[in-house]
């Protein structure tokens, strides 16, 4: 089922974020007008040059959602906790699960509007071996060590429940998102660590990486032509962490030793860091995810949404160039 109205107003939560800063220009270019839900403390630097309307509120506050959705013909729900530093936040359930439930309730009540919920590949699940997963994968991460993945999975279950009630909702599952403009250094921090560490320590796991612009295109396509009740993985190449590190160092034109740290040592670090409440070093909650493979099959999104996902190299090159321009990592030596 597709959306035929390309000139209506779309209510966007989280529009000032990394993905939102790429999505909003696409929506405007297609003829949509936009109303963003922003908190009083929201940083709008990335979207300040755009023409959009906004309303002040929070996805945890149903009344502000009700006020914001007035006059809109569709909804794109992006707002969530997405920073690795907050991956074990005690607010995870309230923001992601209850916040999504609030959005769905208001959307259902105020017009049963077409909605795209931006979930995560983490809600599909991770594996101990490099197995490529698709949208039909049964979620298998039941441990509280994966609070973010669990919250996203619970939020998706709510989406399915509302789809069954007749809400025209589509879910998308971006993988690890890279690109210029990641000012919060959510994923870019990984590349900075590769560039500055000597040697580079990695775990035996892997991930799918995707360019932020491809994710934005996927969200737009899901809104316009995604099948109600379906989910679509938005991801590019699958790389184990050695491959991701080696490609980054190749682009940087530098050679370093890459050491694969045994799982048992990583587990011991996680245990003692958590036990002793150490606040320096790598976030132990983040490391739990690095011990798994998050390999994803993007063929459904390519086939049904018509999205082309650029290669890992084409994703990392502009990201690294931006990081160099912003002086997060050293620029190439002109004499090499």
What is the pLDDT tens value at each position of the chain, 336 positions in all?
444 445 699 999 999 999 999 999 999 999 999 999 999 999 999 999 999 999 999 999 999 999 999 999 999 999 988 766 666 677 889 999 999 999 999 999 999 999 999 999 999 999 999 999 999 999 999 878 899 999 999 999 999 999 999 999 999 999 999 999 999 999 999 999 999 999 999 999 999 999 999 999 999 999 999 999 999 999 999 999 999 999 999 999 999 999 999 888 887 876 777 666 666 667 777 888 999 999 999 999 999 999 999 999 999 999 999 999 999 998 764 433
Measured between alpha carbons, how far is 68 from 63 in angstroms, rounded to an integer?
9
- Per CATH, the number for 9-179+209-236 is 3.40.50.720
Rg (CA), the chain: 20
Domain residue ranges of the chain, discontinuous segments joined by +: 9-179+209-236
- Residue (of 112, 123, 98) closest to 169 by Cα position: 112
Tokens of 133: 């997963």
- What does the DSSP assignment read for 221-268? HHHHHPPTT-EEEE---EEEHHHHHHHHHHHTT----EEE--HHHHHH
Measured between alpha carbons, how far is 233 from 224 in angstroms, rounded to an integer?
16
> In this predicted structure, what is the pLDDT of residue 92?
86
> In this predicted structure, what is the pLDDT of residue 5?
47
Pairing of β 200-202 and β 169-174: unpaired
């Amino acid at each position: 089922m597709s959306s035929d109205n390309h000139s209506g107003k779309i209510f966007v939560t989280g529009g000032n974020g990394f993905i939102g800063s790429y999505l909003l220009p696409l929506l405007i270019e297609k003829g949509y007008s936009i109303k963003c839900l922003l908190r009083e403390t929201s940083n709008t630097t990335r979207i300040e040059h755009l023409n959009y309307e906004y309303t002040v509120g929070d996805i945890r506050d149903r009344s502000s959602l009700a006020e914001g959705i007035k006059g809109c013909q569709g909804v794109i729900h992006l707002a969530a906790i997405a920073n690795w530093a907050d991956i074990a936040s005690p607010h995870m359930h309230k923001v992601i699960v209850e916040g999504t439930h609030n959005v769905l309730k208001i959307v259902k009540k105020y017009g049963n509007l077409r909605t795209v919920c931006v979930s995560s590949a983490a809600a599909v699940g991770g594996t101990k071996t490099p197995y490529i997963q698709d949208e039909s994968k049964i979620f298998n991460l039941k441990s509280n060590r994966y609070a973010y993945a669990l919250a996203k999975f619970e939020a998706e279950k709510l989406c399915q429940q509302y789809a069954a009630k007749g809400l025209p909702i589509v879910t998308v599952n971006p993988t690890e998102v890279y690109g210029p403009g990641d000012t919060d250094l959510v994923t870019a921090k990984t590349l900075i660590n590769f560039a500055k560490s000597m040697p580079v320590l990695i775990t035996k796991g892997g991930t799918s990486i995707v360019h932020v612009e491809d994710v934005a295109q996927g969200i737009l396509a899901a809104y316009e032509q995604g099948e109600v009740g379906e989910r679509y993985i938005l991801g590019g190449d699958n790389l184990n962490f050695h491959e991701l590190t080696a490609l980054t160092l190749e682009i940087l034109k530098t050679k370093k030793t890459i050491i694969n740290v045994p799982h048992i040592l990583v587990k011991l670090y996680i245990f003692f860091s958590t036990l002793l409440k150490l606040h320096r070093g790598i976030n132990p909650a983040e490391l739990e995810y690095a011990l798994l493979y998050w390999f994803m099959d993007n063929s459904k999104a390519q086939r049904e949404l018509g999205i082309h996902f650029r290669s890992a190299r084409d994703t990392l090159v502009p990201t690294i160039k931006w990081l160099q321009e912003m002086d997060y990592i050293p620029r190439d030596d002109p004499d090499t």
